[in-house]
Structures are given as structure tokens and as C-alpha cells.
Amino acid sequence: MATIYDVAKRAGVSPKTVSRVLNRDAPVSTKTRKAVNAAMDALGYVPSHAARSIKSNKSGLIGLITGAISNADEVAAPAGLPELFIVQGAQAVIERSQKTLLISDTGGRLDRVPDLIRTFQEHRVEGILYIADHHKPLDMALPGEGIPKVLVNCFDDLGTPAVVPDDQGGQYALTNAVIAEGHKRIAYLTLAPALEATKLRLRGYRHALDEADIPFDGGLVQATDLHGSQGEHQLIWDALDKFFTADAQPTAICCGNDRLAMAVYGILRRRGISVPEDCSVVGFDDHRTISETLFPALTTAELPYSAMGARAAQMLLGLLSGEGRPATTPIKISGEVKHRASLVRPRSRITQNVVSLKGRTET
Amino acid sequence: MATIYDVAKRAGVSPKTVSRVLNRDAPVSTKTRKAVNAAMDALGYVPSHAARSIKSNKSGLIGLITGAISNADEVAAPAGLPELFIVQGAQAVIERSQKTLLISDTGGRLDRVPDLIRTFQEHRVEGILYIADHHKPLDMALPGEGIPKVLVNCFDDLGTPAVVPDDQGGQYALTNAVIAEGHKRIAYLTLAPALEATKLRLRGYRHALDEADIPFDGGLVQATDLHGSQGEHQLIWDALDKFFTADAQPTAICCGNDRLAMAVYGILRRRGISVPEDCSVVGFDDHRTISETLFPALTTAELPYSAMGARAAQMLLGLLSGEGRPATTPIKISGEVKHRASLVRPRSRITQNVVSLKGRTET
DNA sequence: CGGTGTCATGACATCGGTGTCATATGCGCT
DNA sequence: AGCGCATATGACACCGATGTCATGACACCG
């Protein structure tokens, strides 16, 4: 690869003059500039980032840690894809700031994080974005002391700046939308109870019920575990079974996410329950590949992952420029309710046959 | 950030000795080594990658260009997610080779590729992986002369090493699996006809029919366009309408991808056609979030994107080490047929009511 | 005509490491 | 004791860029 010295020699000037042409930081005569540019073109010269950053002591790099790239492979991940949207949002902002993203992947293994950060340090990254695969508390302190960091989709109790989804607000708004259609028996098929998202959304669900003076019925809330287990469909089946063999059957079902809603569509159909005529269904995430493609299209609460990534990147850039004094509590990002065909007014009375298939085995 | 000089001063040795401790490339007395290590720990010293690469003229970086991160946002992308798996596969291989991936995103805009490659050149990447969002011919020559490159999910006519999916073989195997269940009327709902994947898979489909002496019926092949258009469901609806109002109705439907199959599930249900009792359905891609979650679970042909990424990365590393003399024709990567509940033997006779809802409008 | 200021350019040091070569120390052997 | 040799360490140059300062050429002014 040609160097600035090669260019200088070919143009018959000093290296420093070539540098001046490159950086436009001092006047250069038109004639000289042309000669230098011609030499650069002829040699295919591209300045070395390494040489620059060693002198300036600025790398122009932002490190980003994610498990998205690997997690997307595992059905196990309750929210593997979202990380990707977060990365996208961050990427767009970082790029506009003329910096370069160094993306590293944990491969799903948290114990690799220190190594990744070590590599970042070797590259002298100016800041780090840490993206969790789902909304959760971060139980370890990240290494890399002195490097500004922003957490995304997770938070710690050390006051590290963080950006998280507004799970509670999202479920609250979504449940309100269901209530606004006239539903009173609203079942909720949650994700794993231990998840931060589940706790917060349940809170939003109850809050909406309370405000509408609809009594909370524990029998209408069932937890499933979407961790790709073989018995996944069975769990959902059993949960629905409980809903539809109860005295008062639900007229709408909230699902922990869009994927869960997709499974529910199939099982309701098998039981002879039409969506949305017999029962409305709503999801969560607005995972559009699912929500817009399902038939009927799925009503769901948008989880604005891209916006989270963008916001986090902005916060980080703010920290770097020394402007921002970041909030010590996580920033919550809210999304819209996407009202689609799967949510309609309930019928006055549900009359379909309910076939209990409890105990059936997976095909 | 501490430098090797700081460490040297603190340990009371020369910088060169610190370098020797770091690289273990020359004998250092135990006592000195301990002193140096202690000084490094105390100062939190991490060697500068930039300084190293400037001297060694080796960056240890591999550039990767993708649109995945952005494309995943657009429903438009017929195969936005797959890129991600490719990245994952590449990442795993690259990492094992002690190199670092520099991932850049086109943001869906091809015209940005030259800029991205320019940035890669500034970082002196040793090789470039170019990942297309779907299997297609690459109509431009990539800049960055002299840098080894491997194309993934695309190919050119310049002999650039490339890795592509075996679309034809996949659809052939899948169709064979359908035929093996006893189906003879096998409809095919393809993706957009202009896609490379559509052409190749159609070839595989016909090949399988030919071998089984099943005559090809053009009426059983309908194209849809999944580019997120509002009329997407309508198109699928119309296509299915043609299938099921024909004289001999299909007993199985092949879909251009899993997402299409998901939409088909919903529409068949609306028409009173049960999957798989009345009609088997198969997809393509094995997009597991869909194929394993749909109810009944979807039979589909795996598209081993991760393996493609891994293979491409291996090829690139081979080129770098000067070992590999790469094939001049694209390497095709095949996947397995995943047989799941949506594909069963056909009934002898289909008797369900077929309700034509042609011309209905989107909800 | 000489003094002064501006413009254009180059010489040289420097950033943080590593390669090359020189030097100091210690040990075994004759 | 003197020689040879391996081990341990340091001085110095260099990689490719840029900051600092110096210098040469010219125009302008009194």
C-alpha cells in the first residue's frame, strides 16, 4: 500500500505538503495541489487510519457488544431479533457522526465480554454500547474502566447510563386499546414470569384493568415459556385450555410477544375458535414479519428497538463530546399500539363448541 | 492511556524489554518479567493495536459489508434476516482465526458501498466479505483492487470467489419429500419471478416432478410478490383462489418462503381448508421463528445461511494465507429438508367446501 | 531601496510499538 | 586466568502520519 512518502516523491513535494492537501488545514498552491492529487490517484493512495490515530490519539471507533448475531440462531432467545434493530438504530447515528462501529458478538456467552472489551481497548475505542438480548438487569460490572458506556435493553445499579423499553407503558396502552373495543374478559398469556418484561407488562395490564374497573382475574393469566422447548405448543395449548373451559371465557387474549400470538392463532383454529370473530388476539413487539404477515394481521404494541439504539448512540456521543450529563435512571422508550385486524369488538355471546384436547401429545 | 514507555519506566526496564514480555519472543528473566507484569497491571496497560499494525503492516481486520442490519427493518426485504445468519457464521470463523471483524452496513443503499470500502482501506483490512440481501447476480464490480474478496449470497461474472445457496437442490429435495408422501397435485406459490431464487427453485421443482413422471401444470404455479405491498394478502388470496377453483385441486402447496407459508395458513383456514388434513403446506428457508412456532409446525427446506457465512470466511482466510486457489464458479451450499407436521399423506379425495372470496378487499 | 508581513513549503520531532544490532553479565572449559 | 558462548538487556531506527518551527519567495509600504 502506497504511503504519503510515495505520493510526495511522485509529486515532487514533501510529505508534509501531501498531508496538507489531504487535510486542507493550510494553504497549498493550486498547481501543487493538482500534482499531489494526481499522484494520489495514480498510486491509489489511501491514508492509514492506524498512523493517524497513533498520532492524534483518537481512534474514531465506537465498540458495540451484542449477542444478536448469534442469538438469532437460537429459537431459545425470547427476543433475539430485536437486538438487531437496536444495532441498526445505533449504526445509523454513529455513522452520521463520522465514527466507525466495531461490532463484537458474545456468541451468547457472557463470559466472553471481558475479552471483547479487551480487544476494544486495544483498538482504543472511544465509547462502548452494550446491548442485551432482552430487557434485564445486568448482574456484572463491565470492565473497561474509564471508557464511557451506555447500556441498551438492560440496566445496572451503578448508575451506568441506560436505555430500556417502556414495557409497562406499552402493555398499558395495548390493554387500553383492547378495553376500548369493549372487551371485559381479557386473558393474558405471558412470557416466562422471571423476565423483566413480564413483570413490567403485567403491571401495565393490571393498571389498565384497574382504571377501567375491570376486576383482575388470576385465572385469566397464564405463563408460558418460549425457550424453544419441545413442549412449547403443549404449554400454550394447556394455557388456552384453562381459559376456554372456565366459566366465563375470554373475548380477547394478550400474548407475551408476536411469536406467541402466531402459535395461538394455530391452536385457536384447531379448537374451532376464529380470530378475530370469536376471540381477539394481540401480541407484543410489532415484529412485522409476523404481525403484518399473519392472517388476520396482528394488533400489537410496537417495541421501538431501533429508536432505543439511536437514542443510546446519541447519549454516548453526548458523553464523548462532554456535553451530556446523562440521567442516572434508565431512559424509557415507548412505542405505539398498532391496531390491526386481529382486534375487534367482542360478540355479545360466544357460542362455539369448545373441545378440550388437554393431554394430547405434540405431533 | 498508558504506553509501553510508562510501563518500562515503572518497572525500571527498557521499552523493548516490556515488548518482549508482551510477545514472549525472547528470553526474559523471571524477576524482570514479574516486575513488568506488575507494572502493566498497576497502570492498566493495554497495547495499542494501531501502533502495532503500523509497524507490522498487518491490521488483523476483515471487512464485512452487509445490508442486514438495515434491511431487517423493511418488510420489503424478501430475505433480510438471512443475512444475519450469514454474518453469524462468518463471525464465528473469523474470530477463531484471531482476527477482528469490521462490520459495515449499506443501509440498503448500494451506492454507499464504495465509501464503505474506502473506510475499510483506511483501516487496511486484509480481506472483504460482501453479503447480499438475497441470492442475486452482482451487477457492479466492487472497488478495492488488490484486496481479496469473497461474495456471499451473490455472484459476478468476473470470477470473484462466491458462496451461494443451493436453491435448485433445496427445492428439488423438498418437492421430492412432498412426492414421497404420495402427492401428485403439488401447487407452487413462488416469490417474485425475477428473483434468482425463484428461477432456480422452479427448476428444482420441475426436475422433481419430471423424475416422478408427474406432468407439469402451469396452472399450479402462481407468483406472488412479498415486497410488503398493501395488496400482499390479496395476491396470495387470488393465487389460492385459482388453485382451489380449478378442476383438480392441489393436495399440497409449496411456498416461496416460510413467511409466505404463514400467510397461506391463515388464508386456507379462512376458506375452511385445514392444514395438513385437507392440504399440506411446505415453506422454504427454515426460518425457525416461523417454522417451529406455526401450528402445525412447518415442513420446509433449510437454507443454511450460517454455513454459507462460515464457508465464505474460510475461503477468505484461505486466500489470505495463500493456500487456497478458490473455485471460479460459486460454491453451492445445501441444506436439509425439515419434515414437520404440515406435510402428511393426502386424503384420497378432498371434499371440503370451497368458498370463492375472489375480489374481496383487504381488511 | 530596505523593512515587514504573508504565503507556500520543507526539515524535523513525535506518536507507540517492534526489528536489528550492540553490549553486559555470567558460566563452563582448557 | 583467559577464552568462547549463551543469556539478558538496552540503544536506536523505523513504520506512516501530523504538529511545530524555520525558511524562501514575493508583494507592499514608507
Residue B355: what pLDDT?
A: 44
With CB atoms and an 8 Å threshold, state whether A266 touches B296. Answer: yes
pLDDT tens digits, residue range A223-272? 987 665 567 788 899 999 999 988 889 999 999 999 999 999 999 998 99
Interface contact B234, partner A, CB < 8 A: no
- Whole-number Å distance, CA B29 to C1' C28? 20
Helix (H, G, I), strand (E, B) or coil at B19: helix
Positive or negative: CA dihedral B142, B309, B208, B216: negative
Interface contact B105, partner A, CB < 8 A: yes
Residue found under cell 486542507 = A24
User: CA-CA distance, B313 to B112, in Å (whole number)?
Assistant: 23
Per-residue pLDDT averaged across A347-358, rounded? 49
User: What percentage of chain A reaches a pLDDT higher than 70?
Assistant: 90
Residue B226: what pLDDT?
A: 64
Per-residue pLDDT averaged across B29-52, rounded? 96
Number of A/B CB contacts below 8 angstroms equals 163
At residue B349 the predicted structure's pLDDT band, cuts being 50, 70 and 90, is low
Residue B150: what pLDDT?
A: 96
CB contacts, 8 Å: B293 with chain A:
75, 232, 259, 262-263
> Which one of A303-307, B183-187, B291-295, B352-356 scores highest in mean pLDDT?
B183-187
pTM: 0.87
pLDDT tens digits, residue range A275-290? 999 999 999 999 888 9
User: Which of A185, A182, A50 is closest to B58 using CA atoms?
Assistant: A50
Helix H segments across B135-251? Answer: 167-180, 196-211, 232-245
pLDDT tens digits, residue range A13-52? 999 999 999 999 999 999 999 999 999 999 999 999 999 9
pLDDT tens digits, residue range B244-277? 988 889 999 999 999 999 999 999 998 999 999 9
Is the bond preceding residue A250 a cis peptide, omega within 30 degrees?
no
CB contacts, 8 Å: A109 with chain B:
none
User: CA-CA distance, A355 to A270, in Å (whole number)?
Assistant: 9
pLDDT tens digits, residue range A144-181? 989 999 999 999 999 999 999 999 999 999 999 999 99
Interface contact B55, partner A, CB < 8 A: no
Positive or negative: CA dihedral B72, B76, B77, B79: positive
Strand partners, A129: A64, A150
Interface contact B310, partner A, CB < 8 A: no
Interface contact B68, partner A, CB < 8 A: yes
Whether the predicted pLDDT of B312 surpasses 90? yes
Positions in chain C where some atom is under 7 Å from a protein CB: 7-12, 14-20
| Of A113-117, A193-197, A308-312, B225-229, the least confident | B225-229
Closest residue in B to A269 (Cα) is B269
Residue B326: what pLDDT?
A: 73
Residue A23: what pLDDT?
A: 95
Interface contact A90, partner B, CB < 8 A: no
Phi, psi torsion values for A129, nearest 5 degrees = -105, 125
Grid cell, residue B334, equals 445445501
Residue A342: what pLDDT?
A: 97
Q: Is the CB of B13 under 7 A from strand D?
A: yes
| Partner residue facing B270 (CB), from A105, A228, A295 | A295
pLDDT tens digits, residue range B89-141? 898 899 889 899 998 888 777 888 999 999 999 999 999 999 998 899 998 88
- Whole-number Å distance, CA B7 to C1' C14? 19
Interface contact B101, partner A, CB < 8 A: yes
Could you tell me if B94 and B313 are in contact, meaning their C-beta atoms sit under 8 angstroms apart?
yes
Residue A176: what pLDDT?
A: 98
Positions in chain D where some atom is under 7 Å from a protein CB: 7-12, 14-20
Q: Which residue has the higher pLDDT, A268 or A110?
A: A268
User: Which of B178, B176, B201, B206 is closest to B191 using CA atoms?
Assistant: B201
Residue B229: what pLDDT?
A: 59
Mean residue pLDDT across chain B: 88
User: CA-CA distance, A263 to A233, in Å (whole number)?
Assistant: 7
Residue A362: what pLDDT?
A: 41
At residue B301 the predicted structure's pLDDT band, cuts being 50, 70 and 90, is very high
Residues 271-290 of B with CB under 8 A from A: 288-290
User: CA-CA distance, A209 to B59, in Å (whole number)?
Assistant: 59
User: What percentage of chain B reaches a pLDDT higher than 90?
Assistant: 72
Beta strands across the sheet bearing A331-333: A100-105, A61-66, A127-137, A149-155, A162-165, A331-333
Per-residue pLDDT averaged across B303-316, rounded? 94
Per-residue pLDDT averaged across A77-106, rounded? 79
- Whole-number Å distance, CA B284 to C1' D20? 65
- Whole-number Å distance, CA A82 to C1' D20? 51
Could you tell me if B119 and B55 are in contact, meaning their C-beta atoms sit under 8 angstroms apart?
no
Whether the predicted pLDDT of B23 surpasses 80? yes
Interface contact A32, partner B, CB < 8 A: no
Interface contact B99, partner A, CB < 8 A: no
Residue B81: what pLDDT?
A: 67
pLDDT tens digits, residue range A302-324? 999 989 999 999 999 999 988 76
| Partner residue facing A293 (CB), from B48, B54, B262 | B262
User: CA-CA distance, B237 to B214, in Å (whole number)?
Assistant: 26
Residue A74: what pLDDT?
A: 42
Per-residue pLDDT averaged across A53-65, rounded? 94
Q: Which nucleotide is nearest to B3 (CA to C1')?
A: C16
pLDDT tens digits, residue range B155-212? 999 999 999 999 999 999 999 999 999 999 999 999 999 999 999 999 999 999 999 9
Mean residue pLDDT across chain A: 88
Per-residue pLDDT averaged across A192-206, rounded? 96
Question: Residue B208 contacts by C-beta under 8 Å, 6 or more apart in sequence?
Answer: B171, B172, B175, B176, B179
User: Which of B266, B7, B225 is closest to A340 using CA atoms?
Assistant: B266
With CB atoms and an 8 Å threshold, state whether B85 touches A105. Answer: no
Residue A43: what pLDDT?
A: 96
Per-residue pLDDT averaged across B76-100, rounded? 76
User: Which of B10, B74, B93, B154 is closest to B309 using CA atoms?
Assistant: B93
| Partner residue facing A293 (CB), from B87, B105, B263 | B263
At residue A363 the predicted structure's pLDDT band, cuts being 50, 70 and 90, is very low
Question: Cβ within 7 Å of strand D: which of A 29-58?
Answer: 45-48, 51-52, 54-56
Whether the predicted pLDDT of A193 surpasses 50? yes
Q: Is the CB of A289 under 7 A from strand C?
A: no
Residue B232: what pLDDT?
A: 78
Grid cell, residue B251, equals 393436495
The string of DSSP codes covering A28-96 is --HHHHHHHHHHHHHHT----HHHHHHHHS---EEEEEESHHHHTT-TT-TTHHHHHHHHHHHHHHHHH
Phi, psi torsion values for A67, nearest 5 degrees = -110, 5
| Partner residue facing B122 (CB), from A46, A269, A292 | A46
The CA angle A149-A153-A159, to the nearest 5 degrees, is 45
Residues 161-200 of A with CB under 8 A from B: none
> Which one of A132-146, A229-243, B9-23 scores highest in mean pLDDT?
B9-23
- Whole-number Å distance, CA B29 to C1' C26? 13
